[in-house]
Amino acid sequence: MATPTALTLADRFDQKAFDAIYSRALVYNTCWEDPAVDRLVLSIAPDDRMLVITSAGCNVLDYALVGPDHIHAVDANPRQNALLELKLAGIRRLQFEDFFAAFGHGYHPRFETLYRQALRADLSAFARGFWDRRVRWFGNPHGSFYFHGLSGIVARAFQHYLRVRPRLAASIADLFATRSLEDQRAVYDTRVQPLIWTPEINWTLSRQLTMSLLGVPHPQRKEVQEQHARGVPGFVRECIEYVFRQLPVWTNYFWTVYLRGRYSADCCPEYLRPDNFARLKGQGQGDGLAARISLHTATVSEFLAASAQPISKFVLLDHMDWMSSYHPRALAEEWSLILKRARPDARIIFRSAHAAPAYLERLEIGPQRTRLHARLRFHPELAAAVQPLDRVHTYAGFHIADVPA
């Protein structure tokens, strides 16, 4: 069994800072994983019961549109579940135009009234308390909901930075106005790239505080540093240059929302499209696809230990990176519960800061201490084939594994 990584004084400080920030805040106001890639490899079927880490709930709603039997949205941070609760209440109670104003544009001039009259009663006690104090996030005509929460703070700071760099701001605006990869590359190479990679930006990206605000604990930052010669700034630059040189920006709603503070009707998550909203909503009798979602504020292990239902699809994001450093025994317990509750032929996907995280090789499961790789069938070739399509492109590792039937 692996032992926890020995912590330096700086590590302890970084971890305490991350824990203090994470335990008090909404970290993610939108998901930062591409569900289109996930759909390609999950092959979601009508009989699937899914476990998905909630994050901001966008991808939970995306998967629901495929029509699985049920989705369990699980997150240890109750604020993340509170955001998905608000979205689900909005799907049930609002018309599409009001819903899109709030979650598409990030601004609705009457959202506080709608919240009090139509949404609040549908929320849990925790979610009511959370949004009672923050509903004004949606009501600032000069701001956006997407400039709130921890990741929103970074986006808002970048907006302020662009105000003092008008040439860079104009170049980025022109980049997002392109409609061909040839034009997009030309704008990036000649106008954005020469201006953006300043010592100030590199310094900011190398700070743990910046990473903590983006939901990246320092074990993940160290994973990146160890595999990239230019550290975190070099890795981020490599990711951004791939995104803006190789993938069409006009469909990339992930980067659009943080650079503009809003989605548009033709560049947004699937749940924000009128037809899909209608399918999630149904006819108002609990027959919409959103009714197949249940929320659980718990760790993955806590949820699986309390449930006897078999799960056929797991979407585990990247939380194992930090667990492998601080809580390797808890990670081994989690995998034991995953294998116990997984349906034969279940598929599991997760991401990591490292292309080949060491814990996958050393993790031992159960009393027999069987290596994880002996219990699962991994698909590195499939993962490598789809990862270039990922519109976010900030994870070095994408992992796909099946439980043998």
Structure tokens at 150: 């921890």
Q: Is residue 151 located within the same domain as residue 254?
A: yes
pLDDT in tens, the chain (405 residues): 445 555 565 566 556 666 666 667 899 999 999 999 999 999 999 999 999 999 999 999 999 999 999 999 999 999 999 999 999 999 999 999 999 999 999 999 999 999 999 999 999 999 999 999 999 999 999 899 999 999 899 899 999 999 999 999 999 999 999 999 999 999 999 999 999 999 998 888 888 777 766 666 666 666 666 666 677 788 889 999 999 999 999 999 999 999 999 999 999 999 999 999 999 999 877 789 999 999 999 999 999 999 889 999 999 998 888 787 777 889 999 999 999 999 999 999 999 888 888 888 888 888 888 888 889 999 999 999 999 999 999 888 999 999 998
Q: Is residue 67 located within the same domain as residue 172?
A: no
Of 213, 235, 260, the residue that ends a domain is 260
| Count of structural domains within the chain | 2
Q: Is residue 378 located within the same domain as residue 307?
A: yes
Residue 358: what residue type? Answer: A
Radius of gyration of the chain (CA): 21
Q: What angle do CA 89, 93, 99 make, to 5 degrees?
A: 80
**Chain centre distance of CA 110:** 28
In 3D space, the residue among 301, 303, 311 whose CA is nearest the CA of residue 349 turns out to be 311
Entry pTM: 0.92
Let me know if residue 12 belongs to a domain: no
Let me know if residue 305 belongs to a domain: yes
At 366, which CATH number? 3.40.50.150
User: How far is it, in rounded angstroms, from Cα 377 to Cα 238?
Assistant: 30
- Cα dihedral 389→393→397→402 (10° resolution): -40
Burial class (CB in 10 A: 0-12, 13-18, 19+), 146: buried
**Chain centre distance of CA 142:** 26
Let me know if residue 336 belongs to a domain: yes
Let me know if residue 390 belongs to a domain: yes
Let me know if residue 242 belongs to a domain: yes
The count of other CB atoms within 10 Å of the CB of residue 92 is 18
Q: Is residue 256 located within the same domain as residue 323?
A: no
Q: Is residue 317 located within the same domain as residue 242?
A: no
Q: Is residue 150 located within the same domain as residue 254?
A: yes
Let me know if residue 173 belongs to a domain: yes
Phi-psi label, residue 93: left if phi above 0, alpha if psi -120 to 50, beta otherwise: alpha
Of 239, 260, 281, the residue that ends a domain is 260
Let me know if residue 185 belongs to a domain: yes
Domain span at 397: 31-76+298-405
Structure tokens at 64: 């629901």
Residue 29: what residue type? Answer: N
